Amino acid sequence: MIKNIFLFVLLTVSVLARHEAVPVKSCHAFNNMKHTKNSHHIVLDLNHKYTILDHHKGQYLLLLKGEQPAQRWVDESCFEEKEKQVLKIKKQDSYVHKIDTEYLTTPDKREHNISEISKNNILVLSWHNSFCETNRNKKECRRDLFSLFRSKHRENNFVLHGLWPQPKNKIYCNLDRKYITMDKYRHWNKLPDLLLRPDTRSKLEKIMPGMVSSLHKHEWIKHGTCFGLNADKYFSEALSLTQEFYDSDVSKYISNNIGKRVSIDKIRIEFDKSFGEGTGKSVELRCRDGLITELWLHLGEGKDGLGSKLKNGKQSKKTCQRGILDRAGYVE
């Protein structure tokens, strides 16, 4: 049974990763990797495009429609060197797809029909210094001696908490019940790993300190599964929107006012200046015990980045009128 499942997964990944290319040499197409048999004496046609299913130990596995057997092995020198890299990227994409969909229930048990990318979302940015005041034992909040003498991105900027599809009950889409239970009991480190591209993971580690506590797995399970894209593309969208915020004058205003009390009215004015009139209305400030904890950016449909999404976003309530941007370090 296990062997059959493995073969099914391998075949699925191969099909998703298939790639077409024209050979550069007239090579014999063999039934096996040892090249001991070539049924019907098949030779590659230099004017024909072949489907490449896999690359393994210096050989390509091809799909030759109409032949028996249809899958044939040829030496990698039969095709241009670049084909190996193209196939590698396609296999990564297909593996991301496999990892993402392993959470899902069978189609007949699905509660949500996620047929398109979520248009209404909340980009949640967290003020890390305030978070750590009440979560000092969290891995992302531990401060060593060396950290006292150097400035960290997380101590001077809002950091990424998540990107939440709306309405608020749009969570845990099409998931196996065991993963929902695991997430709700905060066993995030036990959730399956997400296959993210190296550049996505690297950027995420910088602006989402909670990754060391598996926050990214929780965000994907609870919210990302309802977004309409795979995990890598979901986080890439969140990263892109957050970077637009960092590149704006709003972020500069925040950095210049650390340790001071700021109001939602002033923050909204800064958003209007940076992203266009009418964008500030979609910004919500969250506070706790007088400290600013989060910024919620209510985003609507838009194609031109953060500005247009904010302009089309829902007008948010003033849940917190003003608060202090806490400095790094703990208040005793």
Question: pLDDT digit string (tens) for 305-326?
Answer: 999 999 999 999 888 999 999 9
The closest alpha carbon to 226, from 310, 122, 99, 117, belongs to 117
**Domain endpoint, select from 101, 120, 149:** 101
Pairing type for strands 283-288 and 291-299 reads antiparallel
> What do you get for the CA distance between the two ends of the chain, in Å?
59
Residue 58 located in a structural domain: yes
The closest alpha carbon to 102, from 14, 12, 168, 202, belongs to 12
Q: What is the pTM of this model?
A: 0.68
Residue 106 located in a structural domain: no
In the chain, the number of structural domains is: 2
In whole angstroms, give the CA distance from residue 69 to residue 216.
44
Ramachandran area for residue 290 (φ above 0: left; ψ -120 to 50: alpha; else beta): left
Q: Do both 121 and 216 map to the same domain? A: yes
In whole angstroms, give the CA distance from residue 189 to residue 134.
21
Largest CA distance in the chain: 82
Q: Do both 148 and 65 map to the same domain? A: no
The closest alpha carbon to 296, from 275, 281, 308, 276, belongs to 281
**Domain endpoint, select from 83, 101, 119:** 101
CATH number, domain with residue 203: 3.90.730.10
Q: Do both 80 and 173 map to the same domain? A: no
Q: Do both 138 and 268 map to the same domain? A: yes
Domain residues for the domain of 33 are 2-101
Q: Do both 165 and 138 map to the same domain? A: yes
Band of residue 15 on the pLDDT scale cut at 50, 70, 90: very low
Q: What is the pLDDT of residues 224-262, one digit of tens each?
A: 999 999 999 999 999 999 999 999 999 999 999 999 999
Q: Do both 275 and 135 map to the same domain? A: yes
Helices marked H in 149-226 — which ranges? 153-156, 177-184, 198-207, 215-222
Q: Do both 87 and 173 map to the same domain? A: no
Q: Do both 32 and 126 map to the same domain? A: no
Amino acid 87: pLDDT: 65
Residue 144 located in a structural domain: yes
